[in-house]
Amino acid sequence: MTRSSLHPLKGAGYLISTVSMILLATVSWDSALKSPTACLLGGATTSIIGMFCRWLSYEIEKRQEERREGNKAR
């Protein structure tokens, strides 16, 4: 597999991780209501933001690679 062909797989992995965080946060909600929710919300939010940042870095890398390949073809 080429490097760029792995991007959809990486994206799917981040999407699955995001969904899992949402599901875990949902299941934990009742327990979190009995104790401070800041850690639960903060943990889920920061995890999702971190996954988004990693996904975005791959997208930027992919676009830069496509530009380089486009410049080589000229």
Decide if 74 is inside a domain: yes
Decide if 13 is inside a domain: no
Decide if 53 is inside a domain: yes
Contact 38, 12 (CB under 8 A): no
Q: What angle do CA 46, 58, 65 make, to 5 degrees?
A: 160
Per-residue pLDDT band for 8 (boundaries 50, 70, 90) equals confident
Decide if 62 is inside a domain: yes
Decide if 66 is inside a domain: yes
pLDDT in tens, 28-69: 777 767 766 666 777 778 788 888 888 888 888 888 888 888
Query: How many separate domains does the chain show?
Result: 1
Decide if 8 is inside a domain: no
Decide if 41 is inside a domain: no
Per-residue pLDDT band for 74 (boundaries 50, 70, 90) equals low
Contact 38, 46 (CB under 8 A): no
The residue written with tokens 């327990």 in the block is 31
